[in-house]
Amino acid sequence: MKKFLATMASTLMAVSLVGCGASTSAGTPAPAASEAPAATAEAAPAATAEAAAAATDGDLSTKKVGVCIYQFSDNFMTLFRTELENYLISLGFSKENITIADGANDQATQTNQIDTFITDGVDVLIINPVNSSSAATITDKVVAANIPLVYINREPDESEEARWKDNGWKVTYVGCDARQSGTMQGEIIADLGLDAIDFNKNGKVDYIMIEGDPENVDAQYRTEFSVKALTDKGLEVNCLSDQVGNWDQTQGQQLVANALGQFGNDVEVVFCNNDAMALGAKQAIADAGRTVGKDIYLVGVDALTEVCEDVLSGAITGTVFNDHIAQSHSSADAAVNFLTGKTNEYYIGCDYVKVTKDNAQSILDSLK
Ligand code: BGC
């Protein structure tokens, strides 16, 4: 991971715009993730947090935690928030003192929820912003109320993270570097070899891209780095279609159905920025009479249980484990650190894991 981040840090990041071969805004600075120490979750391991919790003599049971999730219906964030709540309780927080709010994918709704948490005097906030570009506004009001803040999953930009550090604020971000997940998706495809991928024998990898919400750095980086992994291995690529599916299964299915209708057998690879959309794509592929592994390939990100099972059966080529367990635990540990007078790194990272037929069963076992 360190090596990965070091390599990435030296690269000038470009934000990919939606649309095949869209120009990139060269010189766009990398988010603070690139400068962050690798796997700084080590700075607040569970053992430390538990020790800290113990040191407060059960005090955590009286602490009020406000959690804002961008949208409850998101599959991945459902896994995340469920694990977060269970882990907070295991650390000694009381269930009735943990309030989790559904932002319903609307920043105004979420901002109202944050205002209410502040008025209610919560002791710490854990926020998965609807729009990461709203982070500065959110940080300002939470810091003014003297409440420590842990951002999760949607990374604020570099200048925002720099403010926390410059001002010594009790604010941090917990998440993974999406460049790594994109790279792993591309590698899963590249490892198949051009002969296996190139069904139409034009010498290129013909693909369609289904993106998450383009405001998210996760969507931007997975889109860019999945393709980069192919070209880095010397493969020529041809983007047939690049569409926004907003992390959503139904939208993913519709977009892939449309692309298969338009480009037919020329579609050799379907990249989805997450597993929910890959599940939609799987359905569209079946409906079009195509067969993953025989005449098309499909990859996602998250390693949802259903997708790991599909990887085992061959219905999906591969995915990338987005470790909601490590991320939810790190965010709870960071909250405890703030509550017990300790500090956190300003970026707490986590590694992705490539998932293919070879290890899908062990990932499934680890999720049980
Ligand atoms: C996950 C997606 C999820 C998104 C929400 C991403 O890291 O891979 O499944 O929809 O986070 O922000």
CA of 214 relative to ligand 1 center, distance in Å: 11
Kindly report the protein residue whose alpha carbon is nearest to atom 10 of ligand 1.
247
DSSP 69: E
Amino acid in position 261: G
| Distance from C-alpha of 94 to C-alpha of 365, rounded to nearest angstrom | 29
Residue 358 lies in a domain: no
Structural domain of residue 10, as residue ranges? 2-37+178-321
Best residue among 215, 218, 248 to mutate for probing ligand 1, ranked by most atoms within 8 Å of CB: 218
Q: Which residues line ligand 1 (CB under 6 A)?
A: 74, 76-77, 153-154, 212, 216, 218, 247, 274, 276, 301-302, 322
In a domain, residue 355? The reply is: no
Residue 253: Cβ-neighbour burial (10 angstroms; 0-12, 13-18, 19+):
buried
pLDDT of residue 58: 52
d(CA 174, ligand 1 centre) in Å: 13
In this structure, how many other beta carbons lie within 10 angstroms of the beta carbon of residue 25? Answer: 11
Which pLDDT value is given to residue 19?
74
pLDDT tens sequence for the chain (368 residues):
333 333 333 333 333 346 786 433 333 333 333 333 333 333 344 445 454 444 444 589 999 999 999 999 999 999 999 999 999 999 999 999 999 999 999 999 999 999 999 999 999 999 999 999 999 999 999 999 999 999 999 999 999 999 999 999 999 999 999 999 999 999 999 999 999 999 999 999 999 999 999 999 999 999 999 999 999 999 999 999 999 999 999 999 999 999 999 999 999 999 999 999 999 999 999 999 999 999 999 999 999 999 999 999 999 999 999 999 999 999 999 999 999 999 999 999 999 999 999 999 999 999 98
Q: Are residues 315 and 327 in the same domain?
A: no
The answer to whether residue 362 is domain-embedded is no
Number of structural domains (the chain) is: 2
Q: What is the pLDDT of residue 268?
A: 98
Does residue 201 share a domain with residue 98? no
Q: What is the pLDDT of residues 297-323, one digit of tens each?
A: 999 999 999 999 999 999 999 999 999
Residues paired with 297 in a beta bridge: 269
- CATH code, 103: 3.40.50.2300
308 within domain boundaries: yes
Cβ burial 162-189 (10 Å sphere, 16+ → b, else e): ebbeeeebbbbbbbbbbbbbbbbbbbbb
Q: Are residues 165 and 77 in the same domain?
A: yes
What's residue 234's pLDDT? 97
Is position 231 within any domain? yes
CA 190 to chain CA centroid, Å, is 22
Residues in the chain: 368
- Both 204 and 337 in one domain: the answer is no
Cβ neighbours around 119 below 10 Å, total:
9
- Pocket probe mutation, ligand 1, options 247, 301, 320, 328, max atoms within 8 Å of Cβ: 247
Task: Give me the DSSP letters along 317-336.
Answer: -BEEE--HHHHHHHHHHHHH
Task: Answer whether residue 241 is part of any domain.
Answer: yes
List strand residue ranges (DSSP E) for the chain, in order: 15-16, 24-25, 65-69, 98-102, 124-127, 149-152, 171-174, 205-211, 237-244, 269-272, 297-299, 319-321, 347-348, 353-355
CA-based nearest residue to 259, from 209, 198, 221, 222: 209
Show the 3-state SS of 161-194. HHHHHHHCCCEEEECCCHHHHHHHHHHHHHCCCH
pLDDT in tens, 209-226: 999 999 999 999 999 999
